Amino acid sequence: MADYLIANGTDAELTNVNAGGVDVPRRSSGNTITLTDVELAAVCVLPGVAVMKDTSTFQQRREVAKVLKYRKVLTL
């Protein structure tokens, strides 16, 4: 188990992403979310969702946010 930052770039809320019942609102991020290996694998396969170690730098989070922001434009 480790702490992760989950960036949700979709138009839907992510509910119960871990055993603690943590939710990540649409088009936002949640940090310090503890995930097991199974929970991490389940979240990583979701389209429009990015998962990073909670210790990532500001620049890394900013780059992921840019990609998620323009995700719809890139897929058209």
Is the predicted pLDDT of residue 36 greater than 90, yes or no? yes
pLDDT, averaged across the chain: 84
Of the ranges 10-24, 40-54, 62-76, which one carries the lowest mean pLDDT score? Answer: 62-76
Mean pLDDT over 9-38 rounds to: 90
Largest alpha-carbon pair distance within the chain?
37
**Predicted local distance difference test score (pLDDT) of residue 74:** 46
pTM of the full structure:
0.73
